[in-house]
Amino acid sequence: MSAYDPLHGFDGELNTDQLDIEYNARATVSPERFATTMQDYLDATASARIHCLARADLPYSEDSGGPRLDLYGTNPGERRPAVMFIHGGYWRALTKEHSGFMASMLADRGIATIVPDYRLAPDASLAEIVHDVRSALAFTWHRGAGLGIDRERITLCGSSAGGHLAASCIQPGWQVAYGLPDIAVRTALPVSGLFHLGPIARCHPQAWLSLSGEDVLHLSPLLKPPVRPAASHMRITVALAASEAEGFKRQSMAYHEALLAAGVSSSLLEIAGRNHFDVVLDLADPQSQLARALLDLVTSGHQAA
């Protein structure tokens, strides 16, 4: 593993050309397979909208014209545990219309699903994107009873850039400004995530992110893991596909190790036979390893509460 420093992460010895290769998720699949997987996201989400959509296009920010979220799988008069799924797309692509494919599986098991949109780069900075997702979580937590959600039983899940954003929601120090307790969320499943932005600031995503050194230090979840005593109440599974690009693999392993060092109960889960893009589709299959891990986290979050 390369030498480590806080600004550059574990990839400080790699040059830009090497980083471009090792953080190019699209290069791990053919264009045809990528296009098919994106269509699978859309088709499965459209099916879930028919099956169990409860509320669509709820504004969650102070700006009524700002980003919105969809809510699936609630039941009148009941407060259900919920999974908030945060989509990927390297912070510049995809929408909530791609991102509700697990909602039917969860609804059939009495679990709601929250799927927020967020502003996208380059029109929004990464700090603004993180703010959007934290605002979606705060909105859901504060409005939980009225939405049919048990706010003490929210599990975060996200794919790729969404894995970074899910991890950003369990960083310490931001919660008070949003009216949240230190332990607003006890369980999380980041999938194929990015947790240290140092390498990202030195390769192709920098073209649309324009990260500063301060951004790297403040917006990298690996540098700001949960702290005790909150950490001891958390359980996180860090998941990745077997066919990830090498940079994504290193980041998942490093984040898992940082969580353990912080006192978090963390597991590292590698899904065989899957790539960076199709691995999260396993969340729609209750028999898959990834879906079982998610369901286990939802259950354990209830027990911890």
CB-side neighbour CA atoms (13 Å) of 108: 10
Residue 1: pLDDT band by 50, 70, 90 thresholds?
A: very low
Chain-centre distance of CA 144, in angstroms? 20
Provide the terminal-to-terminal Cα distance of the chain, rounded to the nearest Å.
38
**Is the pLDDT higher at 196 or at 303?**
196
Query: Mean of the per-residue pLDDT values for the chain?
Result: 94
DSSP 8-state secondary structure symbol assigned to residue 190 = E
**What's the pLDDT tens digit per position in 12-65?**
778 999 999 999 999 999 999 999 999 999 999 999 999 999 999 999 987 767
**Percent of the chain having pLDDT more than 90?**
90
**What's the pLDDT tens digit per position in 272-305?**
999 999 999 999 999 999 999 999 999 985 544 4
pLDDT at 2: 44
For residue 89, is pLDDT > 90?
yes
Non-local (6+) Cβ contacts of 296 within 8 A are none
Question: In the chain, what are the domains?
Answer: 16-304 (3.40.50.1820)
- What mean pLDDT comes out for the span 164-174? 97
